[in-house]
Amino acid sequence: MLLEGKVAVVTGGTRGIGFEIVRKYLANGAKVVLFGSRQETVDKALEKLSAENPAWEFDGMCPKLTDAAEVEKAVLAVKEKFGRIDILVNNAGISQSTPLYNYTAEEFDKCIDLNVKALFYTILPAAKIMKEQGGGCILNTSSMVSISGQPAGVGYPTSKFAVNGMTISLARELAKDNIRVNAVAPGVTRTDMVAALPADVVARISAQIPLGRPGEPEEVANAFLYLASDMASYVTGEILSVDGASRA
């Protein structure tokens, strides 16, 4: 039980990597509040968790992450219910692959709003709570494209480079308050989107990954578990790649 007695908030926690993070944290003794984009998906995720283990303690909410006031209200509600917030995982986000000449300002802004601004909106109230209670852990989902870029959809790697910058800078700023800040940079992962691809497409993708296959959501969640646990008590300001040595 690596997270016994801890309280965690996981955004984008209703499916894929986020849902595996929620499951991994619950299985290791944490109480978890997952944030999703819609009440319908939140309810579905909570039902799956209840069916897996009725003894787990969890809840779900669907604040609009690009609304600072709404996010702050949700974070404070978690503190009100569980008494503290030890771990914040900023996993919600969107990807883009639009070529530059077809990009619109609105599409670019949408990516920056959810992938960058929403992190700040969630971190600000959570960090204040963590400081008051004597410490905590903030984890952000980056991407392998934050290191290597990608051939189209410049808004996405731009946003993930920003996530890395925010992570490293806040790690330095918040260290005095015993708040660790790290990020995980996944590579190609077998989420629903990848699992739905034809076998030949998956084979071509796998051929470009030195380990020869996409990662599994649980393997990425393991990195989030490590960084949230006391095993990483002296780790902060790191961008941990979990990508099978692949590069975009």
The pLDDT confidence band at residue 199, using thresholds 50, 70 and 90, is confident
Q: Is the pLDDT of residue 193 over 80?
A: no
Q: How confident is the model at residue 207 (pLDDT cuts 50, 70, 90)?
A: confident
Q: What is the pLDDT averaged over residues 193-221? A: 84
Looking at residue 10, what is its pLDDT? 98
Q: Grade residue 196 by pLDDT with cuts at 50, 70 and 90.
A: low
Query: Over 60: is that where the pLDDT of 208 sits?
Result: yes
pLDDT of residue 202: 73
pLDDT of residue 134: 98
Residues serving a catalytic function are 156
The residue with greater pLDDT, 95 or 172, is 172
pTM: 0.94
The whole-number pLDDT of residue 240 equals: 97
Binned at pLDDT 50, 70 and 90, residue 200 comes out as confident
Sequence-distant (≥ 6) Cβ neighbours of residue 60 within 8 angstroms: 13, 14, 33, 34, 35, 36, 42, 43, 45, 46
pLDDT confidence of residue 248: 55
pLDDT in tens, 23-81: 999 999 999 999 999 999 999 999 999 999 999 999 999 999 999 999 999 999 999 99
pLDDT band at 206; cut points 50, 70, 90? confident
Rounded to an integer, the average pLDDT of 164-169 is 98
Output Rg (C-alpha) for the chain, integer angstroms: 17
Q: Distance between CA 38 and CA 202 in Å, rounded?
A: 30
Q: Output the pLDDT for position 203.
A: 83
Lowest mean pLDDT segment, chosen from 56-65, 152-161, 188-197:
188-197
Average pLDDT over residues 114-127: 98
Question: Mean pLDDT over all residues of the chain?
Answer: 95
**Encoding tokens for residue 53?**
């283990």
**Which pLDDT does position 205 carry in this prediction?**
78
Pairwise pLDDT comparison (19 vs 204), residue with the higher score: 19
Taken in order of first residue, the domains within the chain and their CATH numbers are 7-242 (3.40.50.720)
Element holding 11 (H helix, E strand): strand 7-11
Q: How is the beta sheet containing 87-90 ordered, strand by strand?
A: 58-61, 31-35, 7-11, 87-90, 136-141, 179-186, 239-242
* Residue 119, token pair as written in the block: 């992190």
pLDDT value at residue 204: 81
pLDDT of residue 197: 64
* Cα-based distances in Å from 56 to 46, 75, 91, 138: 11, 20, 21, 22
